[in-house]
Structure 1
Amino acid sequence: MTAALTLDGVSKRYGEFRAVEDLSFEVQKGAICGFLGPNGAGKTSTIRMILGLQGVSAGRIEILGADDGRKVRDRIGFLPEERGLYKKMTPVDAIAFFGSLKGLPLAEGRRRAKDMLEAQGLGASRNKKMKELSKGMAQKVQLIASVVHRPEFVILDEPFSGLDPVNQQGLEAVIRDLAADGATVLFSTHVMQHAERLCDKVVLLARGQKAFEGTVTEARATSKRFLELEGAIDAAQAAALPGVSGVEVVSEIDGVRVLKAALGQGGKGQDTLKAAFLGGLDVRRFELREPSLHDAFINLTGDHPDVDQSVKVAEAAR
């Protein structure tokens, strides 16, 4: 397959601080790639370099065959993390205007805007002012505005931020439709569940460096299966069970604990549970669970993806 995007040894420095360091990965044409990591990990800095909005300090970027995103900007759609639409414009006018900036004639932009708003359930709101729309509706309008010119490559920076579950589900459907129509999609997020459902590939970023590149299945395989146990059990008792390689106390209320018991290589949950019951341990609830992408991220980086790293950035920049 041909790569739509290639980063080779890319770094970005702000003074003495390195926001991104020696980052390399590829996104194949037509793929959905999740660019994952905590806030402050370097995702937005990387996206700005891909788009050509800021230069690289070292390394090379190629997008759609060009060495600078600005050379192919009419073939790219971009939804920034910081949203912004003219409040007194109608959705139709706003979408047509943004399309015109990418070379789409206004009349065609208005026609496409009406069709796309209707498809997203916003037909009845197409002539309202933007300031009259809910946050979720306004975000849908901005997404439409970023893809109305039918780009080959779509970049979405934290697209799920601030959306309720219903609108998040709708946005996931839009992303799938974009890929089905042949577009390549790169979206950044710190919410692993979206990537698990959507992505052909993920790139995990922590503290400005790549921690992993591959499929969701490959990422999960880096972490261990585990038993979730609930009862009046202490960590030492659980750690002594056969097949258990480590124990984490998830919560404790009045002596009743929820434990996460990782299973080592070849460990069988059934054997572990059998030993627990035969040993008379107070197991009130149990569940054998496969590792999630969230678990894999913690295993690969030692960080929680929902913990903001920008504080570390501020401290390091002093």
Structure 2
Amino acid sequence: MREVGRDDTDAHLPQVHEARNPGMALDLDWVMSARANTSAIERRAATLPGRRSVKKDYQAAWLLKAITLIDLTTLAGDDTAGRVRRLCAKARQPVRQDLLDAMGMGPIHTGAVCVYHDMVPTAVAALDGTGIPVAAVSTGFPAGLSPLPLRLAEIGESVKAGAREIDIVISRRHVLTGNWQALYDEMKAMREACGDAHVKAILATGELGSLRNVARASLVCMMAGADFIKTSTGKESVNATLPVSLVMIRALRDYFDETGYRIGYKPAGGISKAKDALTYLALIKDELGNRWLQPDLFRFGASSLLGDIERQLEHHVTGRYSASYRHAMA
């Protein structure tokens, strides 16, 4: 049940619907016991696209659900206030009204809008009154190599500017050198700096060296109080993959079984096709259940994904594929 007195922009935050993860003491025995059978994980992941198939109205319904789980994102060096306002307009109305009317759907919107810190005030103003939260990438995104005090100060400034979600990046070197205490302390400090804003810990899994490291880093970040764990910044050469996702969501399940706290998951980077979104949704449903298929516990970090989903929805309504320019983004 929603908490009394919460602002509408809190509606998608996990602490509204679930008791917020308070974290726990670093349990190195648990961390070091985490393993990853790479060949088995890869075999399981390879079967996923063919195991679940939804068609016609069912597919349209799943694609509409996917839209509500998107963190609509622009993280380009040439971002402008105008581009961010256009992106926010798309977040408010992600599917053309004629398509929604044809499917008998009421209004829907994306899960959040994700921008650089400098664009937070613009996005907050553009989304005022919509219930759509603004997420800021902070902490020296994407490398996360600036001094820790500066990264913490950047979090504080993003929260002050109105960001309700903070996507932080961990120091990969702590994982690569096995310095789990340092990773825990860093993550805990970032969680504290976020205050009431919820924090997504970006693991940059393509740079962690192994699936075992992904499993261990996931556990450490959750122990330190992360509200979400996220695969990637979108700037690495390898971003979200199904094997990585399988490892991370099983870590989520283990953490829930041990502590009773549900942590969110966000695959980001490289998910640009509607069929890929359906595969990820099926994976979450199979491994974690329906509760995780809500915007307070699952997000896609994407921008071009929305355009392909809208194109598939037009095909569902009209029987014809349209040109991409009919589904303009920012």
TM-score (normalizing by structure 2): 0.35
TM-score (normalizing by structure 1): 0.36
Structure having the higher strand fraction is: 1
Q: Based on CA coordinates, which of the two structures has the bigger radius of gyration?
A: 1
